[in-house]
């Protein structure tokens, strides 16, 4: 009896080899079906689904950005109003001091005339 490639040709161990070969082929075929590319219809549906998801995400991000811009505009408007009010207060205070200075100057001029 001679052995070739680890199998004894005389004992009928080829049956185990063939069974293993067939079983391996079936496992390989099953794996190929699991990881095979999708059909064109399935691929288009998946692309449409992902595109829809991305569109929804983009719309949400755009709405968030618009909201932040609106908040910033509101804050800038409020700050501008505060600065305007503060500027108005400074102007009124300056006018009051100027009026007082003018009155004091007139009084000083009148007093100087009397001398």
Structure tokens at 4: 């070739």
- pLDDT of the chain, 115 residues: tens digit per residue: 445 555 455 555 667 788 888 888 888 877 776 777 777 788 788 888 888 988 998 999 999 999 999 999 999 999 999 999 999 999 999 999 999 999 999 888 888 776 6
**Spatial distance between the Cα atoms of 35 and 69, rounded to a whole number of angstroms:** 46
pLDDT 10s digits, 94-115: 999 999 999 999 888 888 776 6
Domain boundaries, the chain: 52-109
**Spatial distance between the Cα atoms of 96 and 92, rounded to a whole number of angstroms:** 6
Report DSSP letters for 101-113, one per residue: HHHHHHHHHHHHH
Task: Pick left, alpha or beta for residue 12 (phi over 0 → left; psi -120 to 50 → alpha; otherwise beta).
Answer: left
The pTM is what? 0.46
pLDDT confidence of residue 1: 46
């Amino acid at each position: 009896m001679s052995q070739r490639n680890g199998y004894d040709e005389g004992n009928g161990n080829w049956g185990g080899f063939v069974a293993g070969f067939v079983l391996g082929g079936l496992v390989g075929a099953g794996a190929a079906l699991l990881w095979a590319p999708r059909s064109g219809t399935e691929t288009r549906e998946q692309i449409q689904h992902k595109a829809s998801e991305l569109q929804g995400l983009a719309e949400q991000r755009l709405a968030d950005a618009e909201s932040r811009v609106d908040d910033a505009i509101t804050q800038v408007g409020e700050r501008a109003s505060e600065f305007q009010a503060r500027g108005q207060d400074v102007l009124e205070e300056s006018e009051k001091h100027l009026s007082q200075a003018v009155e004091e100057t007139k009084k000083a001029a009148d007093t100087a005339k009397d001398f």
